Homo-oligomer: A and B are copies of this chain.
């Protein structure tokens, strides 16, 4: 019987593949002989009642003894497997939901059951990264219709944790992104919580941008909490500003995001499902969503913005929550800093009512906070922004932000990068355009978001007059090598800030 031969003793080689299930087998293992000497083959790995699908990698050295196998850390966690335990490796039946992915690749509409099967299988660890990549690619652009996005959202909520609250109105805000420096969230949360509304803010880390709110907040305080800790923070301060990935609110999204990141791709339908599933799983029922529109923003024209607005509002309504979408100017970066620490410096300046605080960031945050406040029956329509401004000016927002940080473990000083390199204007003139995408790329090449203090500090705005050799921005980095990369990119892209003579 072949059955015996596929029972292997787990050895922990300590290989972390980041959310990809890999099984390491000896080249002479019987399982491999029957599957053939071909890697990229998937097998089923079981321990007790749990089972996953894992891709085979072959160990040709003597890292494994006869009868041993190893798993990537992620696979081991999914199975709750410990070294020395006996895992059973069997042939994998083709994952049925992959035929739905193929159907989508060829442009067919997916049913609610098909989408749910795909998401269930992804969360269960039955998809390889290659297969998730194909699914994401097939869902890009107009390839998903309203019904499919609704079903994708439902499937993502269903396959994860869900928070519930006693209060009737739970507010939230989200920005579609693509606009460097647009770090309004900490300001809005502080104003809204100071007013008295409940805002359980879970933010993401950057996917393809130089910073996400969670990256930027982490410069100042802790952002990783479990659900009961989050409940405690909110009970104390009405709000939190934490990383959503630490709580399993939409685990499918967390798995998918790392593939999107490797592809540097944002799929519209996936984006809508990702946003709404996280908000609904967090228990929010009144949500403001900002869509910046600009030639070099994530959303480039009104047409796309209207499509997204329509999807977000309709799907929100269908799922029983109030979604209000605001279309904003996305023509240039907001504030000055681009990168986690530099953006933290900017929003702290706004919260402190500092004289040099970036006024565009302040004004944007007040507009959005005003919209959130108007969800409250106590706030008259049209008066939200006035109330928000009063709360910010009074110092109550800054107090509330400090209190939230205290509840999240205390506030740290903002660190600074080792190297700060000034880049100068090549000629006299007026700033005509600033390319959001390329300035973001520059900040990423400088090391953001993983290197928190790295990024770009922007000294100019569109329509500003500049003199030749005046600093127009500074690159913040922590290694001469990264600085070199960033500078060579700038040399190739001198027009990322267009100055008209």
Copies of this chain, whole number: 2
Given contacts A34-B451, A36-B450, contact A63 B137 (CB under 8 A): no
B485 touches A63 (CB 8 A): no
The CA-CA distance from A37 to B263 in the complex, in Å, is 19
Q: Does A167 contact B (CB under 8 A)?
A: no
Q: Does A133 contact B (CB under 8 A)?
A: yes
Stretch at the interface among A99-107, A114-122, A378-386: A99-107
Contact among B14, B24, B265 with A59 in the assembled complex (CB-CB below 8 Å): B14
B264 touches A40 (CB 8 A): no
Q: Does A394 contact B (CB under 8 A)?
A: no
Contact among B60, B90, B105, B441 with A14 in the assembled complex (CB-CB below 8 Å): B60
The CA-CA distance from A36 to B137 in the complex, in Å, is 26
The CA-CA distance from A46 to B262 in the complex, in Å, is 21
Residues of B with C-beta under 8 A to A57: 15-18, 72
B59 touches A134 (CB 8 A): no
A94 touches B441 (CB 8 A): yes
Q: List 29 A-B contacts (CB under 8 A).
A: A1-B479, A3-B481, A14-B60, A15-B58, A16-B27, A16-B60, A18-B39, A18-B58, A19-B40, A34-B450, A34-B451, A34-B479, A36-B449, A38-B450, A40-B258, A40-B259, A40-B261, A40-B262, A42-B262, A93-B445, A93-B489, A102-B264, A105-B137, A105-B141, A105-B265, A130-B133, A134-B134, A134-B263, A137-B137
- Chain A: residues with CB nearer than 8 A to chain B? 1-3, 6, 12-20, 24, 27, 34-40, 42, 57-63, 72-73, 90-91, 93-94, 98, 102, 105-107, 128-134, 136-138, 140-141, 258-259, 261-265, 441, 445, 447, 449-451, 478-482, 485, 489
Q: A1-B481, A91-B445, A134-B134 are in contact. List 12 more A-B contacts (CB 8 A).
A: A2-B480, A13-B61, A14-B59, A17-B39, A18-B57, A35-B450, A40-B258, A93-B489, A94-B441, A128-B262, A131-B263, A134-B263
